[in-house]
Amino acid sequence: MKWLSHIGRQASRLAAFELFRYIGPGFFVTVGFIDPGNWVTNVAAGSNHGYQLLWVVTLSTVMLIIVQHNAAHLGIVTGLCLSEAASTHFHPWLRNLILGSAMAACISTALAELLGAAIGLQMLTGLPLPAGALLSSGFAIYMLYSKNYKLLEKWIMGFVSLIGLAFLFELALAQVSWTSSLKGWVTPVIPLGAMPVIMGVLGAVVMPHNIFLHSEVIQSRQLNLQGEAAIRKQLKYEFLDTLTGMGAGWAINSAMIIMAAAVFYSRGIPVTELSQVTLTLQPIFGSLSADVFAIGLIFAGLASSVTAAMAGGSVFAGIFLEPFDMTDNHSKLGVYITIFGGLAVLLLLKNPFTGILWSQVALSLQLPFTIFPLIWLTSSRKVMGTYANTPYGKSVLWLVGLIVIGLNAALLIDMFKS
C-alpha cells in the first residue's frame, strides 16, 4: 500500500506544480487595487467613519472578481486584450470613446501611484515629492524594459506579500474592535457626506485600467493558439488565480480601514494627509510602526506604477490592434503618455491627499465605459464562440454594471446637493 501512498503524494505534487504554472496574472492585477489610491481612500474611510464603510470593500471586491474573471476569459479565449477586442469589434467612434476614457483613467491611476511612492519616500527620507515621483517613474519604465512578464509577476507577488505583512504588523499593534469589523463588512451604511469616499473606494478597487491589464497579461500566454485543451485548462485555473489574488487584496484593503478606524477614528483624528499617518503612529506605537507604514506605501507605489504604465501601453497599442510590447513604438508611447501625464498633473496639485482621493473618484466615473463593452464582448458568440457568457452570467454582469451606475448617480446627486 506504500506505493499507492507514494503515487498519491507524487500526483499531489504534480497538481501543485501544474497550478503554479497558471497562477500569476491575478496577483499581478491585485497590486493595482492595493495602490496608494486605495491607501488614501481607505485611510479616509476609516479615520472619518470608523468601521462603517468596510462593506464597500466587500461589495467592490465581489464586483471586481466577477469583472476580472470575464476580462481574463476574453484574453484566454480570443488571444486579444480588451483594448484590441474593442478596436476589432466596435465602430471607430465608440472605440475612441472607450479607449480614450481608458487612457485618461490610466493617467489618473499613474498620478496616484507616483504620488503615493513619492509621499512614502518623503516620509522615510525627506526627499521632495517631485524628486520621489521622478524616481518612481524611472523604476516603472526600467521594469517594463525588462520585457519579462514572469519576472514582473514575481516582483509584483513579492510586493503584495510585503504590503500585506506591513499591515499585519500595524494591526497587531492596534486595539481593533473585531465585532464592529464583522458588522461593517456585511452591513451597508451610507453616513452623511460619505459618498465621495465610497466612490473613491469603489474606483480604487474596481479600477478600469486593471480590467484592461488582466486581459493583456493573460492573453500574452497565447493559449488560444495551443488548442481547446490548453484553453480549458487555463479557464479551469484562472478563477482560482483571480479569487486568490482578489481575496488577498480584500484582506489588505480591509486591514487599511480597520487600522485607520482603530488608531484615528477612535481618537477623533480625521486624516487629511498621508504624512499625518506616520506623525500620529510614531508617538502611539513608536518609530518602527511609522517606518513600516512608509515602506509599505513605497512598495505599493512602485509596484502599482509599473502596472499602471503597462496598462496605458496596452490600451494605446490596442487602438492600433497591437498587443503590448515594449519593442513597439505604440506600446512605448502609451507608457510614456501614462507616466508623464500623471507626473504633469502631479506637479499642478496643491493638496496631494485630496488629489489622490479625487483621482479614484474619476476612476469610478469611467467604470461604465469599461464594464459595458466587456459585457457585450464576452457575451457575444461571434467574439467568444462556445465560451460566450450564459444568460445567468450576463445577468450577473449587468447587475454589477447597474450598481456602478447607481452609485455614480448617487455621487453626482450628492455633489449637486452640496
Beta-carbon contacts of residue 35 (< 8 Å; ≥ 6 apart):
109, 112, 113, 116, 204, 300, 301, 303, 304, 308
pLDDT of residue 1 exceeding 50 = no
pLDDT tens for 293-307 read: 788 888 888 888 888
As a 3-state breakdown, the chain gives helix, strand, coil percent values, each rounded to 5, of 85, 0, 15
Q: How confident is the model at residue 334 (pLDDT cuts 50, 70, 90)?
A: very high
pLDDT at 312 over 60: yes
For the beta carbon of residue 129, count every other beta carbon within 10 angstroms.
Answer: 18
Share the mean pLDDT of the chain: 80
Is the pTM higher than 0.75? The answer reads yes
Q: Give 94-98 contacts, CB < 8 A, sequence gap 24+.
A: 94/373, 95/319, 96/319, 97/369, 98/369, 98/370, 98/373
CB 130 within 8 A of CB 347: yes
Determine the number of helices (DSSP H) and then strands (DSSP E) in the chain: 18, 0
Cα distance between the two ends of the chain: 74
Residue 110 belongs to what H/E stretch?
Answer: helix 92-125
pLDDT at 45 over 60: yes
Higher pLDDT, 56 or 26: 56
Integer CA distances (angstroms), 84 to 166, 314, 372, 377, in order: 38, 9, 16, 11
What pLDDT does 138 receive? 92
Least confident of 165-169, 194-198, 227-231: 227-231
Decide if pLDDT at 169 tops 70. Answer: yes
Residue-wise pLDDT for 236-287, tens only, equals 677 777 788 788 889 888 988 998 898 889 888 888 776 777 666 666 666 7
Q: Among the residues of 31-53, which ranges form H helices?
A: 36-49
Task: Using the structure block, give the residue that is written with the C-alpha cell 483621482.
Answer: 359
Domains recognised in the chain with CATH numbers:
2-417 (1.20.1740.10)
SS (H, E, C) 123-178: HHHCCCHHHHHHHHHHHHHHHHCCCCHHHHHHHHHHHHHHHHHHHHHHHHHCCCCH
Q: Kindly state the percentage of the chain with pLDDT values over 90.
A: 27
